[in-house]
Homo-oligomer: A and B are copies of this chain.
Amino acid sequence: MCRFGVLTASDRASSGDYDDLSGPAIVGFLEDAMTSPWEVVRRLVPDERDEIERVLAELVDSEGCSVVVTTGGTGPAPRDVTPEATEAVCERMLPGFGEQMRAISLRHVPTAVLSRQTAGIRGSSLILNLPGSPRSIREILDEIFAAVPYCVDLIGGPYITTDESVVDVFRPPHARRE
C-alpha cells in the first residue's frame, strides 16, 4: 500500500474564495495511473511557510505518506513560499525535478521560467512541488511520474506499479519484480 499526500497551498482556496481544483487534479492523475494499492491524504492550507512545513512533516512522519505532492505557492510573488517550506523539511534535494518540470512547462508558456518548484527527500519519502494550474499539473505528472516509483524504491518505500498507457514507469532491470 502506497500512501500519497496531496497538499494544496493557496490563500484563496483555503479561505473558501474559490474551490481547490489543483488537489483534485493530482488525485485524478493517481486514479488514472496507479495499478498497485494506494490511498490519498489531502490537506489544504494558506500560503504560510510555517503551516506548510508543519503539514509536510505531518504527512511524512505521522501519516506515513511515501510521496507528497504539493500544488501552489511556487512563483516569485512574496506570498509564494512552498519551495522554502519544502527545502526546510527535506534532508536532501533532487534538483533534476525542478529543472525538468520547468523544461516541460516552458514548451507551453515562457513564464514557466519563473517557477521555483523543487523536490527533495525526507526520511523515506519524496516531496514534489507542482504548480497551481490543473492543466500544468497533468502535463508535468504524465511525464515525470515515470521516475517516481524507482525513486520510492531507492529511498525505502513500497513497490509502485502503474498503467503503462498513462505513464510508462522505468526501472533498471535489476529493480523489476515480475
Interface residues of A (CB under 8 A from B): 75-78, 84, 92-100, 102-103, 106, 109-116, 121, 126, 143-144, 146-147, 150-151, 154-156, 168, 170-172
Contact = CB atoms under 8 A, between A and B. Distances in A.
Contacts of A106: 100
A92 B110 contact: no
The residue in A113, A116, A147, A155 that gathers the most chain B C-beta atoms within 10 A of its C-beta is A113
Contacts of A156: 78
B77 A96 contact: no
A76 B98 contact: no
Contact of A102 (B96, B110, B143): B96
Contacts of A96: 98, 102, 112-116
Nearest to A100: B113
Given A96-B116, A99-B99, A116-B92, A110 B170 contact: yes
Q: Top 10 closest A-B pairs, CB basis?
A: A110-B146, A96-B113, A77-B154, A111-B147, A96-B102, A113-B147, A110-B147, A110-B170, A100-B113, A111-B150
Contacts of A147: 110-114
A95 B114 CA distance: 8
A29 B170 CA distance: 28
Contacts of A126: 76
Nearest to A109: B170
Nearest to A84: B92
